[in-house]
Amino acid sequence: MPELVNEGPPPGRIDIVLSDDNPLFTCMAIIPQLSLFSWNEMDSLGDLARLRLVLTSMPDEALLTRLHAHRGRRGRNDHPVRGMWNSLLAGVVFQHLSIESLRRELARNAQLREMCGLWDIPSASAYTRFLQKLLRYTEELDAMFDHLVKALRETLPGFGEHLAIDSKAISSWANHPSKESEPDGRRDLDANYGVKSYKGLHKDGKPWEKVVRWFGYKLHLVVDAAYELPVAFSVTPASKSDMPGAHDLLNRM
C-alpha cells in the first residue's frame, strides 16, 4: 500500500474555512482545534463544538440540492431544508434516541436551533415527511459516506489496513406485519425477526449464553480496527445472517 501523506493542517489543528454568504450557518474563520481523531479530546469539546465540526465537514451539498429541488416542485416550505437536515445531524451528535427527544432538545436549546438554522420547532409529522423524502435519495447518502471514507484514506496513515467485521441489531418502532400486505404508514413491511446469541464463560468457568430477539433490521459493518471508524456498511432485514452479510460487504469493497 503506498504511503499516505497528510497534506492538510499540522497536527492538533483543523482549518475550517467558511464563507460569509450566510452568517447563520457560517462565519469566516480558521479555528484551531484539538486532534481530530482523538476521541477523548473530541468529547471534551462539548456537543455544540462537535456539531459545528460535523456541519462544516459534511459533504451534503448534492443531497440538499436535490431536496431543495423536490420541495420547490411539490412540497411545503414551513421549515428550511438545511435546518431540518442539520437538526437530524444534531440528533446523532447529541445521541437522541427518538425524534421527540430531539424536539425537546431544540425547544430548550436556542443555540442549537440557531446553529441548525431553525426558527421554530418542526412537528413530529414534519420530521416523518422529511425522513420519507430522504429515503428517496439513498444514492446521494451513499456518495456522502464514500466521500468521507476516501478522505479518511487520504488523511490517516494505514487507514483500511486492519479491518474488523461485526453486526448490530436495529429495532423497528413500527407495528409488526400482519396479514395485510399494503403499506399504511404504520406497519414496517421491510423488517423481519432476527435472533443473535452471545456466549462466554463466567469467572468460575461456567458457560453463559444470552439470546437477543428483535423485530427490525441488522446493520452490517466493516470498520478500521485501529481508528474504530467505518469503512463499509449495509442494512438488511434482521434475519440476514452475519457471514453472508459480511461476504456481500467485502465483495462490494
| pLDDT at 71 (0 to 100) | 75
Higher pLDDT, 5 or 147: 147
Q: 10 Å Cβ neighbour count for 37? A: 14
Same domain, residue pair 168 and 121: no
Same domain, residue pair 128 and 197: no
Same domain, residue pair 85 and 132: yes
Same domain, residue pair 77 and 131: yes
Same domain, residue pair 167 and 151: no
Is the pLDDT at 13 greater than 50, yes or no? no
Same domain, residue pair 142 and 83: yes
Residue 16 lies in a domain: no
Same domain, residue pair 133 and 64: yes
Lowest mean pLDDT among 179-183, 191-195, 214-218: 179-183
Residue 11 lies in a domain: no
| pLDDT at 70 (0 to 100) | 80
Residue 64 lies in a domain: yes
| pLDDT at 172 (0 to 100) | 86
Amino acid at residue number 3: E
Residue 20 lies in a domain: no
Long-range contacts of 124-127 (CB under 8 A, 24+ apart): 124/99, 124/100, 126/78, 126/79, 126/84, 127/84, 127/88, 127/99, 127/103
DSSP string, 162-213: SEEEEEEEEE--SBPP-S--S--SSB-SS-EEEEEEEEEE-TTS-EEEEEEE
Same domain, residue pair 142 and 168: no
Residues 89-137 have pLDDT tens digits of 999 999 999 999 999 999 999 999 999 999 999 999 999 999 999 999 9
Residue 225 lies in a domain: yes
Predicted confidence band of residue 247 (pLDDT cuts 50, 70, 90): confident
User: Are 86 and 116 a contacting pair, CB within 8 Å?
Assistant: yes
Residue 24 lies in a domain: no
Same domain, residue pair 219 and 245: yes
Domain holding 123, by residue range, is: 39-155
| pLDDT at 190 (0 to 100) | 85
Residue 7 lies in a domain: no
Residue 27 lies in a domain: no
> What is the H or E stretch that residue 232 is in?
strand 229-237
Predicted confidence band of residue 38 (pLDDT cuts 50, 70, 90): low
| pLDDT at 148 (0 to 100) | 94
Domain count along the chain? 2
Is the pLDDT at 53 greater than 70, yes or no? yes
Same domain, residue pair 120 and 197: no
Same domain, residue pair 202 and 224: yes
Same domain, residue pair 150 and 168: no
pTM of the model: 0.73
